Each structure stands twice: as structure tokens, then as C-alpha cells.
Chain A
Amino acid sequence: MNAPATPKYAAYICSGCGIGDVLDIAALEKVAKNEGKMALVKTHDFLCSAAGVEMIKQDIANEGVTHLCIAACSRRAKTEAFYFPSVAVSRANLREGVIWVVAEGAEHDEVRQEMAEDYVRMSCAEIKKMTAPAGNIKEASSKKILVVGGGMSGMTAALAAADAGYEVVLVEKTGALGGFANQLYKRVPFNSPYAEPQEVGAGETAAKVHSHPKIKVYLNATVAETAGAPGRFAVKIATESGSISEERCGAIVQATGFTTYPLEKLPELGGGQPNVVDQAGLEALAKAANGGPIKRADGKEVKSVVFVQCAGQRGSGGNGSGQHLEYCSGHCCATSIKQAMYFKDQNPDIDTVIMYSDLRVPGMGEDFYRSAQKKGVIFTKAKVTGVKGGDRCEVQFKDLILDEETATDADLVVLATGQVPNAGVNLDEWTATVTAAESGDEAAKEKKAALQKLSVLNLQYRQGPDMPQFKYGFADSHFICFPYETRRTGIYAAGPVRRPMDMFQATEDATGAAMKAIQAVENVEKGRAVHPRAWDLSYPKARLEGCTQCKRCTVECPFGAIDEDEKRFPVFNEERCRRCGTCMGACPVRVISFENYSCDTVGMQIKAVNIPDEFEEKPRILILACENDAYPALDMAGVQRMTYSAYVRAIPVRCLGSVNTIWITDALNSGYDGVMMMGCKKGEDYQCHFVKGSEMAYYRMSKIDDTLKQLGLEPERVQTQEVAITDNARVVKLINDYVAQLNEMGPSPMKGFG
């Protein structure tokens, strides 16, 4: 895979798909040869055909070509045909990027040809700064999978991974496998006809785990330390006896589940008063009754029961003071239906009332709901205003259908409280505490020690001991696109620690997380990025002699991939890296680069564009487009034959987070009239593949307005836009509006000084 000592550059121009009909191919060849300095320039009328590909292969084998510039379709098309892993490849997008998006007709011939020639120049400039990535294979990597938590999610993940042939280490804090499922009398049905509560089956699953030859179980154990990176996690497991075992693991599934919201925090709903229990409390009573009459703590048989849904959940939309959990825990409606059936199945004369504000029974839960109605469970849409415990419990509520304040009494009241994730340390709190402790604050030092004790994984990462948390303290996940992925590569959250869910969803979740863990260990072994750039062999390299120890890369890496050594130089953990390039964008001295993507590969493209002088009235606009969403949207605009201005030059970037401000400076200094960045949606409902990349770009760009003003440039000359992959019509409008806006502003005053 290593490139030969003497590089040889070759350009291949495709004249197929109509490229040769509207472009002057001979002129493009001339550009590649004379300006691009390509040693070999060839044209083919069907380059992606077997014959065309064979021609390139022959040149690689016989002519010693090491660097290819392919001027044909978008880099997103024909990736299999143009797959030459032994050499560096750059692509000039003449089809989707030029002939399909520039308006038809002879009057556009000139600008169209200019655009195509620029893309050839850019591609030739880029390739000179690229080398074929060799991959990151350092040492024998471990394919063992560590599962933290032995509940239903953890056991399912362990079995899924072990059945797929991977060694598994399962660490469980308590003395038995099963977790919360052990507390249940029965579970909500998970197969047809979804009408009756089903056996839990946690014992059978635990037995399977214990007897599986590929699973090693640690009971009464916690993770004392996790160091390293995917493929080489060094995990210290502390058992109750005080002994420490060490395991080398490739990936981690965190299935640490949830705890129930404390009943005593709900005094307004009778929490803590006699005969007011939560759902877990009722499971205990039902388990003790074991099919017989369910009795209260005082031994009295329950003849009437009221279930209060959303107790301390869903903010002011639920029941309780509204000062509790903001979210819906998702499982409680079906759980209360199941628990009402415990009573009705034993004795149909028992009064069972479920007070709900919105009954949420997703999936086949609707059949379960109907089954409960058939059994005579009364469902009342109500807002419960107060519960008094006692021998006769009193429930005060507003009937939302009959629109009246009323009350009823019952032997027992069950509060459907929510799930609170066991996600470990909140990293924002951690970072603030560590910063305070470093400045000598004694209280902060104590708090840091206390926080450390809460940690689940005890990661030896610069960015903190656990994975970042998403909303409401749930463990991180890429909610929209990649549910199991967290911002800690090779560590996957599964089950209710990730989002509130029921047991069936948790087991499905666990299977998915196990799959991701397998993907991680396999890709790491091959020296590739884990995901989402699962094919990517490149990885960041830093010229540390130029580093100023500013720590921006270590702080801004969305994935905590970069640690610091004693001298505060960055230490790259390539296996943790997702190859987004956010570190590269952050670096003020530009010492971080990838073999095929660097400040130079993009910078040289920017400089390669021919900038007409101000009298020609041909503005040049640079587009830096995120290759995950915005660039495909631009391609799709081409596929649909929408037209946008031929004055733009688009360069795909791995993520907007990788945009280094030097590119903007270079572009404006070279006389571009404007720069438009297109990245994914940021913020709480982000769609960035690298979570924080686009947010980082916006933050950085918000700081350059002053610099622009100092240069005598209008701030509007640099724009940042949020673009989704489906925005193909919108990108066209954005571009055309921007070109019109820039025309009004007039040419950049920097023209001619570049």
C-alpha cells in the first residue's frame, strides 16, 4: 500500500454521459497537462466501463502512476468502478457539478467551460497534496466485547455478541443477573395475541448467559478503570472482595439501565404514605401473592385500586407538581394495564381504575389496551390533583372528559413513576468541577472525588470519566441517524440508560448495540474508521514540533479521541477517532492533517481556481459543503437538472467542523467574492454526523466578522447555512440568492491582490 518513492500524476477525463457534448475536452486536457502538470492525460468516452477502468489499472501497473485525478462524475458516483486502493485518487465533478447544473444553451458555453476547467485545476492541485492512506494497524487488537450491566439489555447484548462468535465479558454490580426484570411478576406481552401478561423469563436468559462458553460473568463487580481505545481497552474490574481483574477488550456495551424515580419525592401524590406504592412496589405485592389475592402491606386484601399515570413525569402535562421528570418513560401505560390485569384475572369484581392523560401504548400495545377494557378495567382521562394514603386512600382528580373536579377512594393507589437513567457522571458538571479544582478550590476537589465515585466506566479520557449525556441525563446517542452510537467511539449505550423504554425495546436495543460493538472491533482490526466513515483508512497525524499546546483539539474533539501528555501535547488515539477533522479545523497552527485530507488539499484547490478581474463581472463564490448532507443535495440538484450559477466552485469537506479559518482567509485574499458554508443542522435537534462539528463551525465563524471588517470586507461575504440532504431545491435557491446578493454588493475589493 505504500506509495513508491517517485510520484507520478495522471489525469483521466471522461467524455461520456454528455460531458464531451457540451465541454471542450481538448481544452480540459490542455489544462490538466499545462496548468495541472499531469504527467499523463488521457480521455475516454466511457471511463467507468470495464475498458476504461482497465486502462487506468494498466497505467498504475505499467506506467508507475501513483496519483490519479479522475475528471468525470461526482465523487459520490461510481465509487466501485473508481476504487484504486493502492494510489491516491481525486475527483473532478464535471457531470453533477457542471454539465447538469449549468443552464443549457450556447450563451452559457463560456462560463460552463470555465467552471469545468476550474474543477480540473482544483483536482490536479488537490492530488499533489494527497497520499494513499495506509490505515492504522498498530498492534494485535482485541475483539473481546465488554458488557457493563447484567439486566435484560446487558444479557441480551452479551448473548447476541457471543452467539456471533465473540468473547464477552459481562460485569454486573449485584450478586445476580437479571436486573430490574427480577423484580417483575410478569411482563407486558411481546408476542401474539398481545392480550395477556407473559412470563418474564429473566431466569432462563441468565442461565443461558452463565452456561455460554464465550461469556465470562463477573458478579458483584464494577468497572474500576477503562483506559485505551477501541481494540485495546484496558479494563480493570473490581469485585466486592477487593480483588482487581484486568481484561483487554475491543468494544464496550453500556447497559446500566435505570432506577425508579423516588416515591418520597412525590408527597403531593401520596408518595411515602401508607398504601400508596409505585409500579415496582406493586410488582412486589403481586409476586408475593403469586396468582392469589393481592394483599397490601398491612395484609388486607385489595378490593379496589387506582393507577395514577405520569406520576412525576412529563412536566406539567403529567400528574404531580410538574417539578419532577420532564419526559415520558414510555413503558408505564402498558405496565399499569398489565398490573390492572393482575387484579382482574384473579377476581373480576375488583375495581381497577387507570387515570391517564394520554394513554401511550405504542406498537401492539393497542391490542393489550383493548384486552384490558374487555376485562373491565376502567380508563379515565383525568388530571390527578392529590392523593391521600391510608386505610381508604383518597384520589382527587379532574375528570377531563366530564370536565369536573371529583374524587374516588381505593384500597391501594399505584403511582406510575418514571425511569431515571444510570448514566454515570454528567460531563458538564465534571469539567466545571475539574477546572475549579485545578484552580485550587478545596470544595471542588471534594466534589470531584464524589463525582468520580458515581462514574460507571471510569474512562481515563481527557474529557471525563463517562460518556457525554444527552437530554435529561440519558447516555449519549445519535438520536436521529445512528441510535446506538455515542460520542465515545467503541462504547455503545443500550437499553433504558439511552432513552426510556420497555423490556421488549431494551432487548432489541441491546441486539443493535452488540452489532455496533462487533462493527467496531472488526473495523479497528483492519485499521479503519469505525463509523460512520467505516471504509476510511486515513487518520489524523500531527506535526507536534509545530504544536503550541493550545489544547483546542483536545477540547473540541466531539469524541474525546485526543488526550494530553504531561507536557500538554495532544496524544491521538486513532481508534477513537471518527475522521471528521474537527481537530484539523480547530488547529490555529495547522499541524493536524490526514493523508488525503488536509489544510493543504483544500487550500490548494481554493488557490487553483482562476479568478477573473473585477472588470469581467464574473464573481467567484467558494462553497464548502459538508459531504454527508450538503454535497449530496448539490449532486441531487444536478441529477434533477436544476440549474444554479456557474460562478460557484464547490469543495466537499468531511464535516463543517473540519473547516479551518485559513481556508476562508485564503479564499478572500485570492479575490473570491464570497464564501458559503453548508453544513448540517446544529443544536439540540442536530443532524451533524459528528454531533458537534457543524456547531463548532458556526461558533468559529461567528468570531470572524471582526476580522472581515478589519480587512475592509462586508461580513455578508462569508455565510453559513444549514442544509439537509433533502434540500436539493433549497440549495439551488440559496446559491442563486447569494450570487444575486453579491452582485449587488459589487466585486470583492481584494481582487487583484492575491
Chain B
Amino acid sequence: MTTANEKAIAKYKNDFLREVEANVEDGHWVKMCMQCGVCAGSCPLGPHWEHSPQKIFMMIRAGKREEVLKSDSMWMCTSCYNCIVRCPRKLPITHIMHGLANYAHRLGLAPQGQPTREIAKLFWDNLIKTGRVNELKFSLAMYFKDGFSQGIKNAMAMQSIGLGLMKAKRLNPLELFGGHACKDKSGIQKMIAKAREIEDRRRGLA
């Protein structure tokens, strides 16, 4: 993997575009972008992105491998699907953004500490353990992801909501100890492991 990361990518050549096509979900659409900029103009989070989807597509064609994969731009996508609806060339832009984020994550190039990525990781780890999402553990993990004292502060700030949820029997504090799992926990885990194996094989990452 490091060799691939270190590989010098020539500018404005096919190499990186080919890599994206082979490894990124819906990556074969990238070459069809006609640079109209409608996606960039339609994105509600546009001003907060370093690179708009339009630029990301151009950077891929320009061979800017590191800049694209290390960028946090595609992690900013909120899946509102505005760009997909409006793209005159019908590119599945939202899917490509998620695909790129996923690929960067797998390569270990995705930005460290990027909140969307952290939440996604916590959610995944939480889910994998029991086959169900343990909301209490997930919330607490979120509160304490930036250290103990910050975690206490976060928890105190959310105190009234937590108590309200408890009163309404929407939050069981006992879930903190183990929590309930789905019927066939190991079955789910096996299934996910197999799916990953298949996907890695398809993408040549095994």
C-alpha cells in the first residue's frame, strides 16, 4: 500500500484517473464531468469545502493523488443529493464523494481526527460488537472522544436531555453494562467479514 502511495503520479496523465476508476465506487463516472460547476454551486455546504466536487474531479484528472485522498472535502458531504439531482451529465456525485472518502480511509490517507470520519468509525465499531447500535455507549464515546474533561463537560451540557430521555423510557442506563445484542451476533460478524473480503478482493486490496 505504501508503494502505491509513494508512486509518483504524472500530471495530466491517465494513471490516477485509472486508479480511481478501479477502486472507487462509481469512480468510472469521474471522466464524464464536463466542468460546468453546477454541483459546486448547488452544494449547501459549498463554502465550507476546500475543494468542490467539480475541483475534486479536475484534480483527479490532473493526477493530484495526495491532495485528493488527503483532503477532507469529500468527508464534508451530508448526502443531501442536491448535486446528483442537478448534474446535467447525471454523475452520481454523492456516491463518488463517499467512495473517495472510503478509498482514502482504506489507504490510511484520510485526515486524522476529521469529525465525520471519527463518528463513522465509532458508529461502525459500536455496531459490529453486538450487531445492534448501543446508543448510550455511542453517545458517550462521542462525548469523550476529545479527552476525559471535555467528555464530562459534554455530558453535563446534555444532562437535561439525558434525564428527559430516561424519564420517557427512551434511555436505559443499564445498557452501559454490556447491553442487548441481536439474536445471532457471530453470524452477523461473519457475514460482514465475508463481505469485506469480497470487496477487498474486487478492489485488489486484499
Contact = CB atoms under 8 A, between A and B. Distances in A.
Contact of A402 (B13, B14, B55): B55
A410 to B, nearest CB: 9
Interface in B39-87: 54-55, 58-59, 61-62, 64
Interface string A392-423: 00000001011000111000000000000000
B34 interface: yes
A376 B62 contact: no
Contacts of B62: 380, 399, 402, 406
Contacts of A369: 34
A408 B117 CA distance: 34
Given A378-B61, A380-B58, A401 B11 contact: no
A406 B11 contact: yes
A567 interface: no
A210 interface: no
A376 B12 contact: no
A722 to B, nearest CB: 38
B31 interface: yes
Contacts of A349: 14
Helix, strand, loop or mixed for chain A's interface? Answer: strand
A349 B18 CA distance: 10
Interface residues of B, number: 18
Contacts of B10: 408
Contacts of B172: none
A379 interface: yes
B54 A378 contact: no
B12 A353 contact: yes
Interface string A361-379: 0000000011001101011
Contact of A381 (B35, B59, B89): B35
Interface in A538-572: none
Contacts of A351: 12-14
B17 interface: yes
A380 B14 contact: no
A382 to B, nearest CB: 9
Please indicate which of the listed interface residues A349, A380, A402 has the most CB atoms of chain B within 10 Å of its own CB.
A402
B120 interface: no
Contacts of A183: none
B55 A378 contact: no
B139 to A, nearest CB: 41
A408 B89 CA distance: 27
B157 interface: no
A415 B10 CA distance: 22
Contacts of A402: 55, 58-59, 62, 64
B26 to A, nearest CB: 15
Contacts of A374: 31-32
Contacts of A370: 32, 89
A452 interface: no
A359 B33 CA distance: 13
Contacts of A401: 35, 54-55, 58
A380 B59 contact: no
Interface string A330-361: 00000000000000000001010100000100
A6 to B, nearest CB: 75
Nearest to B12: A408
A375 to B, nearest CB: 9
A381 B35 CA distance: 8
Given A401-B58, A402-B59, A376 B13 contact: no
A304 interface: yes
A177 to B, nearest CB: 39
B58 A399 contact: yes
A351 B12 CA distance: 8
B15 to A, nearest CB: 9
Contacts of B59: 402
B32 to A, nearest CB: 5
Contact of B11 (A373, A376, A408): A408
A407 B63 CA distance: 12
A304 B31 contact: no
B11 A378 contact: no
A349 B34 CA distance: 21
Nearest to B33: A373
A114 to B, nearest CB: 62
A378 B89 CA distance: 16
Contact of A376 (B17, B55, B89): B17
A624 B58 CA distance: 60
21 contacts: A306-B12, A349-B14, A353-B12, A370-B32, A373-B31, A374-B31, A374-B32, A378-B12, A378-B14, A378-B17, A379-B35, A380-B58, A381-B35, A381-B58, A401-B54, A401-B58, A402-B55, A406-B11, A407-B11, A408-B10, A408-B12
Interface of A: 304, 306, 349, 351, 353, 359, 369-370, 373-374, 376, 378-381, 399, 401-402, 406-408
Given A370-B32, A373-B34, A376-B14, 19 more contacts: A351-B13, A369-B34, A370-B89, A374-B32, A376-B17, A378-B31, A378-B61, A379-B35, A380-B61, A380-B62, A381-B35, A401-B35, A401-B54, A401-B55, A402-B55, A402-B59, A406-B11, A406-B62, A408-B12
The 5 closest A-B pairs by CB, nearest first: A408-B12, A401-B58, A351-B13, A378-B61, A373-B32
